[in-house]
Structure 1
Amino acid sequence: MNARTTPQKTFLGTPRIPARYAGIVMPLLLSLLMTLVVSLISTLRALGPIDGFLGTWLGAWGLSWLVAFPTLLLVLPIVRRLTAALVESG
């Protein structure tokens, strides 16, 4: 069997997602990571390290991700065009 018929595995051992889904996978991962960090910092700043912090933070994270992911899907093409207008082509 050659490399073209054997799917490459990811770091988790699962098959790689086809390249046509990159436009959804990238904003998905970006929104998950960014909302994780931002909601953690803002929840910790607002409440401090209180009892029940983890549950409150996870609720805030879930809500912020529900807003962030579709927003990224909508604005990413605009951001790409603005970036192309501001940065020299290589």
Structure 2
Amino acid sequence: MKSLVELLVKALVDNPDGVNVTETSGNSITVVEISVAADDVGKIIGKEGRIANAIRTVVKAAGAKQNKKVTVEIVTDDKQPQ
């Protein structure tokens, strides 16, 4: 799953070197976390979250094909006060 998500995300962003994808497998679920450069967060989320939902749909379909539950999380590292 990690390679699939990494391929999708790197195709969407302006700075593919800033993409970091981690995969954590548990007993019943696999969590894929996406971290991108601050300038590219909007490109991954999309208007009203449409791109993020599309990524999640593709990954869930690929996971279902392998009889796995997979969830995708977009992680931001904003340390600045809002």
TM bucket normalised to smaller: 0.3 to 0.5
Kindly indicate whether structure 1 or structure 2 has the higher relative contact order, using CA contacts under 8 Å at least 6 residues apart. 2
Work out which of the two has the higher radius of gyration on C-alpha atoms and give 1 or 2. 1
Q: If each structure's strand is expressed as a fraction of its own residues, which one has the higher value?
A: 2
- Relative to the length of structure 1, the TM-score reads 0.31
- Relative to the length of structure 2, the TM-score reads 0.33
Q: If each structure's helix is expressed as a fraction of its own residues, which one has the higher value?
A: 1
